[in-house]
Amino acid sequence: MAQGFGAKSTTDDVLSGVDLSGKRILVTGVSAGLGVETARALVAHGAQVIGAARNLAKARAVMAPVEAAARASGGSYELIELDLGSLASVRACADILMAQARLFDLIIANAGMMTAAHEVTCDGFEAQFGTNHLGHFLLINRLAPLVSPGGRVVSLASSSHYVSDIDLDDPNFEKPPYDPMTAYGRSKTANMLFAVEFDRRHRDRGVRATSVHPGGIKTGFQQHMRPGEFDEVIVQMNEELAAEGMPMFEFKSIPQGAATSVWAGVVAPAEMVGGRYCEDCHVSEFNDGLINAVIGGVRRYALDPERAKRLWTISEDLVGERF
């Protein structure tokens, strides 16, 4: 079941014939795009999905297809408030779920943000690092006791990890000059290193973690870039691809973009994806050359176990908790 899928596979393709009845799954960032489609696909196959969102009104406004899928399949869908840019909100969400004491078979850390300016969270962290990495770091570690043996954690990363490794001496990007795309790349590398270390810490009890790249998708994410910046990025990528004799970049649909998350979460063998980075419904190989990231592959630094351990300790210091 783990073979035969690729860049054009959709969530319905990879979940064809898969019964998720009785599976309990947490998906963050369910107010738009990939999060909504991920929840819909899982619910359509009988899963009990808890969708976390910062703006519950926005999430409720787009939940109709997920509810319809739940009615048709016998699955279920409910929402919970979660602002990953606030450690207090993260703790409140985790406390509610811990009090329910119901196990999870899968957590998909789908939520994320991109900004065109230097912003900080309410706790004073650089916004992209604080939201994309630290918020999920705190949430998933607090919920770790609820992830059942055989369960998984999927951390959404990006080919943007090619832009920059995480600066372990300045993870909060306090040294100028600030560059938003570099900060975003750092946060995505952090998402990947988190999965590496979480997998190492929990695999002996049968819980595995992986990171995934959904692919290039036109969602509301690009609204945070300066006008014209996204088009400039696409032009540059296509120029580099042409220089390598490669085909032009193609956008994915949202169902295609969400496919790798559900593939890595419930279809691929755990030992195949644990501690690895996945894209286009397969495990990526290392690509440390200068070739454009769109071609695929993963930078070695983003899966480095020693850097993952160091980032873990730094993250514990920043959130003020040990795990």
So which residues are the catalytic ones?
A: 184
Contact (CB, 8 A) for 163 and 185? yes
Looking at the DSSP bridge assignments, the partners of residue 48 are 24, 76
Rounded to whole angstroms, the Cα distance separating 153 from 73 reads 24
Q: Counting Cβ atoms within 10 Å, is residue 6 exposed (0-12), middle (13-18) or buried (19+)? A: exposed
Those residues with Cβ within 8 angstroms of residue 220's Cβ, 6 or more apart along the chain or in another chain: 32, 33
Burial pattern 115-144, b for ≥16 Cβ within 10 A else e, equals eeeebebebebbbbbbbbbbbbbbbbbbbb
Strands 208-213 and 277-279: parallel
Residue 40 structure tokens: 């819909």
Looking at the DSSP bridge assignments, the partners of residue 169 are none
Burial pattern 101-113, b for ≥16 Cβ within 10 A else e, equals eeebbbbbbbbbb
Rounded to whole angstroms, the Cα distance separating 105 from 127 reads 29
Question: What sign results for the dihedral spanned by CA atoms 61, 122, 230, 280?
Answer: negative
Those residues with Cβ within 8 angstroms of residue 91's Cβ, 6 or more apart along the chain or in another chain: 138, 142
